[in-house]
Amino acid sequence: MSESRRHLSLLEYPRPSLAVDTAALTVVDDDLRVLLVRRREEHHSGEWALPGTFLRERETLAAAVLRSLRDKAGIEGRVPRQLHVFDDPGRDDRGWTLSVAHMDAVPFRDLEKPLQSDDVRLASVTVDADLIAALPYGHADMVDLAVERLRQDYAQTPDPAGLISEPFTLKDLRDLHEAVAGRPLMRDTFRRLMEPQLTGTGQMSDGARGRPSRLWRH
């Protein structure tokens, strides 16, 4: 039988390493930020990167993502979603590595404890653009795509990730959406789009931040 027609075993095919990386996004002080961790591995030691890990034998992608978030960033109880497979053969200078990138939008209140570690930080997607651009393993491209997807999610739906605490005013909600969008939003257009998708509480704000306003829930 010719070589071209011989059935190869799986072990005879070249195989890349498989990794997972997660862009966890949040909003702090009306600023969209991404969570980074300081690498403790020998390769790129001390540098900032997205939390990630290599897939273990017989491990699912979802399990690897949750393990990396727990072990690298101290985050638990999340359900990140798959974002994209980054397969550029040159993306990792250690060798041929595919990364299944994931994303999540995490309320800042759920990050306060992880951020007590010196090895965990938030980087602004605008102010810290140079830091993000210098991330290893093509992580900057993952952040860009995660931000794009989050902006798509928030374009027509009020806070689908639940980043804002309830109850909230429409001004609070618009501030959040402007932080995600990275630009101002027309007040009346925003109100007409979002208000029908919200549930009123029948209460008013205390007026500590301007005039009393109606309070809403998701």
- State yes or no: pLDDT of 185 exceeds 70: yes
The predicted structure's pLDDT at residue 4: 53
- Give the residue ranges of DSSP H helices in the chain: 61-68, 129-133, 139-154, 170-181, 187-194
The predicted structure's pLDDT at residue 193: 97
The predicted structure's pLDDT at residue 6: 65
Pairing outcome for strands 17-28 and 97-105: parallel
Convert the pLDDT of each residue in 130-179 to its tens digit: 999 999 999 999 999 999 999 999 999 999 999 999 999 999 999 999 99
- 1: pLDDT confidence band, cut at 50, 70 and 90? very low
Report, as an integer, the average pLDDT of 59-87.
96
Convert the pLDDT of each residue in 10-54 to its tens digit: 667 777 889 999 999 999 999 999 999 998 877 777 899 999 999
Compute how many other C-beta atoms are within 10 angstroms of the C-beta atom of residue 206: 9
**R_g (Cα) of the chain, nearest Å:** 21
Stated pTM of the model: 0.90
